[in-house]
Amino acid sequence: MMRKKISMPSHLMYDGQDDNLFDNFSAVAQRLGVYTAEDYADILEFLVGRWKVENLTGLSGEGKKAQDYVCGLPPRIRRLEERAQGRVKERPTIPFSWIFNRQVKL
């Protein structure tokens, strides 16, 4: 499951006008620090530790690969986020229809 793209339930958000509503909302939430990739990495790191995933033994080859993959996700997400932040130069400002077309910086 973790190898496939995980879609948030709200990815289906639609206000009848903005086909990219969820992507735009996510960009603003990330920029403002409401819910960030770092938060997601922190949650994964917590759960991997809580469930002691790295200490599981007796796994098949496929299970060991999955273990390595899941244990490596938090640092991978952090690196991807750092690179993405480094690429962002100037964020565009767009109207958000669901707040009366107020201009919001992504």
Residue in 43, 18, 39, 34 with CA at minimum distance from that of residue 96: 18
Q: Provide the residue ranges of all domains of the chain, joining segments of one domain with +.
A: 17-105
pTM of the model: 0.71
Look over the chain and give the mean of its residue pLDDT values, rounded to a whole number: 87
Split at pLDDT 50, 70, 90, the class of 43 is: very high
Q: Quick check: 2 pLDDT over 70?
A: no
Neighbours of 79 (CB within 10 A): 11
Identify the CA nearest to 53 among candidates 74, 39, 77. Answer: 74
Q: Is a pLDDT exceeding 80 seen at residue 47?
A: yes
